């Protein structure tokens, strides 16, 4: 749902509390970080994350960065090893994002990590961002506060020109300083540079005492290509075969339904889950990864998926479903 009135407030003493209350209700709040203005949503609330994708008009679900107030909060959502801990201690708060394994019981919504078992986490240095995260006490997913395909905003006016009427609140903290995005380093195996940004590579390598590995598209190929931004995360895919646009159900299939009228044969399905019985695309997006995962574990021959309208968030849902249905390498 779009919000017809976007409130703009100055980043004064009360702003953090107002922003936290809005986030807690599932609202969308733009706020300054030291890199660019971010568009925040409660990372533990899948409906809020679905609204965030809708507000940005993103045609695909990329995993989002979870912003937290401090290292302790980061450790509640992600597992640190010795190297990632060194980087966090050296550069947080600051423009460094770490991609780490999710912690046991990680509360970040599947939609926010695009179904991956890893989570990108950062502690921003901007006092306004920090005050909001502190007041909320939950991770905040925050991509840049612009429409998909537009440049990242460095002032509240930039945010308003893209997102007025689409989000709940803009906290104006003046122009931001860095204007480039955070450096992203994955600490899953060898520390790997996923995206250059606000913290220079040389400083990271100095702290680690080793060179960062490069993210490459296909490590086994003869001529590995660097990954393009936005293509950094390998994608979540169910192990069970996925069949799209199903109009009836075959024996031994599980059904991923959408809308009030479920297709014939569903009585015999090994399992049925409905993305949104009332046909709401925001609700469907919020349920997408959780339902796929649940059906994946049921021993079905295939997961049959009912057609999803290719409008609004349906475009991103269909993008994800097509990837899930593509033959796996
Ligand atoms: P932005 O929020 O626009 O600064 O971009 C977030 C970037 O982080 C995207 O390029 C994502 O692909 C990347 N990212 C977020 N989560 C993960 C993850 N779990 N694994 C790899 N890359 C990630
Ligand atoms: Mg962006």
d(CA 130, CA 118): 23
Rounded mean pLDDT, 252-281: 94
Pick the more confident residue, 58 or 276: 276
pLDDT at 233: 64
| 245 in the same domain as 208 | no
d(CA 299, CA 234): 24
Flag whether pLDDT at 266 surpasses 90: no
| 123 in the same domain as 246 | no
Check if the beta carbon of residue 29 is closer than 8 Å to that of residue 171. yes
**H or E stretch including 94?**
none
In the chain, count of helices (H) and strands (E)? 9, 15
Chain Cα centroid distance, residue 272: 26
| 208 in the same domain as 281 | no
Q: How far is the CA of 182 from the centre of ligand 1 (A)?
A: 10
Q: pLDDT tens digit string along 95-145?
A: 999 999 999 999 999 999 999 999 999 999 999 999 999 999 999 999 999
| 78 in the same domain as 11 | yes
pLDDT at 236: 79
Strand ranges inside 228-271, DSSP E: 241-243, 253-257
Rounded mean pLDDT, 211-230: 60
| Beta partners for residue 252, in sequence order | none
153 close to ligand 1 (CB < 6 Angstrom): no
pLDDT at 219: 46
Q: How confident is the model at residue 232 (pLDDT cuts 50, 70, 90)?
A: low
Nearest to 33 by CA among 187, 179, 220, 184: 179
Flag whether pLDDT at 153 surpasses 60: yes
Nearest to 204 by CA among 213, 67, 101: 213
- Percentage of the chain modeled with pLDDT above 70: 92
| 249 in the same domain as 208 | no
CA distances from 219 to 195, 198, 215 (A): 17, 27, 9
| 122 in the same domain as 72 | yes
Residue numbers of the domain that contains 44 = 7-214
Check if the beta carbon of residue 190 is closer than 8 Å to that of residue 204. no
Q: How far is the CA of 233 from the centre of ligand 1 (A)?
A: 7
What does pTM read for this prediction? 0.89
| 255 in the same domain as 122 | no
Q: pLDDT tens digit string along 82-95?
A: 999 999 999 999 99
pLDDT at 265: 85
303 close to ligand 1 (CB < 6 Angstrom): no
pLDDT at 151: 86
Q: Has residue 32 been placed in a domain?
A: yes
Ligand 1: residue whose CA is nearest its atom 21: 233
pLDDT at 215: 79
| 148 in the same domain as 74 | yes
pLDDT at 152: 87
Number of domains comprising the chain:
2
pLDDT at 258: 97
| 108 in the same domain as 181 | yes
288 close to ligand 1 (CB < 6 Angstrom): no
Ligand 1: residue whose CA is nearest its atom 22: 233
Q: Has residue 109 been placed in a domain?
A: yes
pLDDT at 31: 98
Give the lowest-confidence range in 20-24, 45-49, 169-173, 265-269.
265-269
Check if the beta carbon of residue 286 is closer than 8 Å to that of residue 320. no
Flag whether pLDDT at 196 surpasses 80: yes
Q: Has residue 201 been placed in a domain?
A: yes
Nearest to 322 by CA among 264, 237, 248: 237
Ligand 1: residue whose CA is nearest its atom 14: 63
CATH code, domain carrying 153: 3.90.870.10
| 256 in the same domain as 184 | no
| 210 in the same domain as 245 | no
């Amino acid at each position: 749902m779009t919000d017809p009135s976007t409130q703009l407030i100055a980043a004064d003493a009360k702003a953090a509390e107002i922003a936290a209350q809005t986030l807690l209700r599932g609202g969308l709040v733009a706020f300054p970080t030291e890199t660019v203005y971010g568009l925040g949503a409660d990372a533990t609330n899948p409906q809020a994350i679905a609204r965030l994708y809708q507000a940005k008009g993103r045609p695909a679900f990329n995993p989002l960065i979870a912003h937290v107030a401090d290292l302790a909060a980061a450790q509640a959502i992600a597992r640190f090893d010795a190297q990632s801990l060194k980087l966090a201690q050296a550069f947080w708060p600051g423009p460094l994002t770490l991609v780490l394994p999710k912690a046991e019981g990680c509360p970040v919504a599947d939609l926010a990590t695009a179904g991956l078992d890893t989570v990108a986490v950062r502690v921003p240095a901007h006092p306004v961002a920090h005050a909001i995260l502190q007041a909320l006490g939950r991770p905040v997913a925050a991509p840049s506060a612009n429409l998909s395909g537009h440049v990242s905003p460095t002032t509240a006016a930039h945010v308003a020109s893209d997102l007025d009427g689409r989000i709940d609140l803009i906290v104006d903290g003046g122009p931001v300083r860095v204007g480039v995005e955070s450096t992203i380093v994955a600490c899953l195996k060898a520390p790997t540079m996923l995206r250059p940004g606000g913290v220079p590579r040389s400083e990271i390598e100095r702290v680690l005492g080793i060179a960062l590995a490069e993210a490459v598209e296909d490590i086994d190929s003869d001529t590995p290509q660097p990954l393009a931004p936005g293509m950094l995360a390998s994608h979540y895919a169910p192990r069970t075969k996925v069949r799209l646009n199903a109009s009836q159900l075959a024996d031994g299939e599980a059904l991923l339904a959408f809308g009030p009228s479920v297709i014939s044969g569903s009585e015999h399905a090994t399992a049925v889950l409905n993305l949104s019985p009332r046909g709401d695309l925001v609700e469907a997006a919020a349920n997408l990864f959780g339902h796929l995962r649940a059906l994946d574990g049921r021993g079905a021959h295939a997961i049959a998926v009912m057609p999803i309208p290719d409008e609004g968030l349906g475009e991103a849902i269909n993008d994800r479903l097509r990837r899930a249905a593509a033959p796996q390498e």
